[in-house]
Structure 1
């Protein structure tokens, strides 16, 4: 009995299939309508699937375009800190080669490609962010090194080192540089920092000390007039005082010292380094 039922079901299925195919080929109205309905429904599903995927990819492309704009801005900041020309960073490199035909990408392959590109963009953004942070830190540190001449007029008198003291006539260590200049000539900060001392000293006269961080301090002595006070934040090249002859001095000049952890250093080494940096910067600018 079970075998007979199965045989009847298979026969009915085959008959239905044959009738359906015959009706589809010969254009029977009922069958044609059913075929169009099935085909239309399938096409609508495919169309809906494509629209949804295209919308998703459009959003992804929009996100990537926004990231690329951010990367370009970040690249310009990094190149500026590194002293590079941003136009060279943005330039599109030349490309070429023989055309090799390939097959179209499937939807899944296109999604995978976009995902890989998105991950690569994020990675490069992270790298550029770290580079920007480090370059900015280096720039700040360089800006705190006293490399600018504190007096732009006059000439160098006594250098750093041992000399004959003008008052005692004996050998003594001269702990700075003496810049000979007229009374009232402007004195500027050799670097940015905070004024930690502004006082009248028995030997240094009207004296200013600026803390540049990391144990680095510059001292400006024998000034006639002071333009800053303790606690002021000063910038490189800012006028802080005027040349004078106060304190233990034989004539108008600036006594300039550089101290590292309280130990006097030769200021000329710092000023020479500043001249070298300025020359290198000018050469880079000329090449652009």
Structure 2
């Protein structure tokens, strides 16, 4: 037959092409399912910290998502286009999950002085306590709860000596009543990096760490971040690896 003649539906070539199309369709469906399942696990992990996945990823509700350019090679293939959009969304969500502070800021145990309203130890009146306290030994290492950039090292009224870290996505952590510093402003730190030493500076009744988590500038209860379940931490660890791999490739 001539080059322009279409393949007969019964020809071996047509059968092979149809088989290839069917196989490609099955692979695309499996890939889409895998990405959707991973995305659901990541969003569930973010919610377990008491956070809204869409807001944390920088997308306000009701405003739609970011414009995602799709290469011309897949623009005309709806299945591949859908997978590309899903993968982009997954990358954004994994980046958000990786930024969440889930590491403990010290080896010392948490005390009963929890987040919320309590009796002020100085004047006895009801006062809001915006973090969680850890009692320990003077000079005990204070650790970064997540990777980030040190934005403040110094003294704040009431808090004494303080270190603050920006983890991105509107998430910051504050470490107060310190005796000394190991970090400098502008320094990039990994989770678990020693940033300071425990003390009793500022408005303090004894040696301890006062630890706060802020979301978009507002203090939130740190307990969900400190008591994350193992399965949540595993999902987060995978996200961190993927984000790191993506950064290395970039």
Q: TM-score, normalised by structure 2?
A: 0.59
Distance in 2 separating the partners of 1:275 and 1:150? 17
The change in CA–CA distance for 1:154 and 1:269 in structure 2 (over 3 A counts) is closer
Q: Residues 215-235 of structure 1, C-alpha deviation per residue, up to 9 Å, x if partnerless?
A: 332111011222211112223
Matched with 1:171 is 126
**Structure 2 residue corresponding to 1:261, chosen from 196, 212, 216:** 216
Cα drift, residue 266 of structure 1: 1.4
The 3-state SS of whatever aligns with 2:229 is helix
**1:275 and 2:229 correspond:** yes
**Structure 2 residue corresponding to 1:234, chosen from 164, 185, 189:** 189
Is there any run of 5+ residues in structure 2 with no aligned partner, and where? 4-12, 42-72, 239-250
Cα drift, residue 199 of structure 1: 0.8
The change in CA–CA distance for 1:238 and 1:139 in structure 2 (over 3 A counts) is farther
Q: Which has the higher relative contact order, 1 or 2, with Cα contacts under 8 A spaced 6 or more apart? A: 2
Distance in 2 separating the partners of 1:142 and 1:191? 11
Computing the radius of gyration from Cα coordinates, the structure with the larger value is: 1
**1:131 and 2:105 correspond:** no
Distance in 2 separating the partners of 1:128 and 1:238? 37
Distance in 2 separating the partners of 1:82 and 1:214? 18
Distance in 1 separating the partners of 2:209 and 2:159? 10
The change in CA–CA distance for 1:277 and 1:184 in structure 2 (over 3 A counts) is farther
Cα drift, residue 78 of structure 1: 6.2
The change in CA–CA distance for 1:261 and 1:247 in structure 2 (over 3 A counts) is same
Cα drift, residue 156 of structure 1: 2.2
Matched with 2:140 is 185
Q: How many equivalent pairs are there?
A: 186
Cα drift, residue 195 of structure 1: 1.6
The change in CA–CA distance for 1:238 and 1:83 in structure 2 (over 3 A counts) is farther
Whether the 8 Å contact between 2:39 and 2:93 is mirrored in structure 1 is: no
Distance in 1 separating the partners of 2:126 and 2:151? 31
**1:201 and 2:156 correspond:** yes
Matched with 2:9 is none
The change in CA–CA distance for 1:277 and 1:243 in structure 2 (over 3 A counts) is farther
Is there any run of 5+ residues in structure 1 with no aligned partner, and where? 1-45, 50-56, 85-117
The change in CA–CA distance for 1:189 and 1:131 in structure 2 (over 3 A counts) is same
More helix per residue: 1
Q: Residues 42-101 of structure 1, C-alpha deviation per residue, up to 9 Å, x if partnerless?
A: xxxx9xx8xxxxxxx9xxx9xx9xxx9xx99xx7x969x7699xxxxxxxxxxxxxxxxx
Distance in 1 separating the partners of 2:90 and 2:192? 22
Distance in 2 separating the partners of 1:155 and 1:246? 19
Please report the RMSD computed on the Cα atoms of aligned residues, expressed in angstroms: 3.9
Distance in 2 separating the partners of 1:142 and 1:228? 24
Whether the 8 Å contact between 2:110 and 2:132 is mirrored in structure 1 is: no
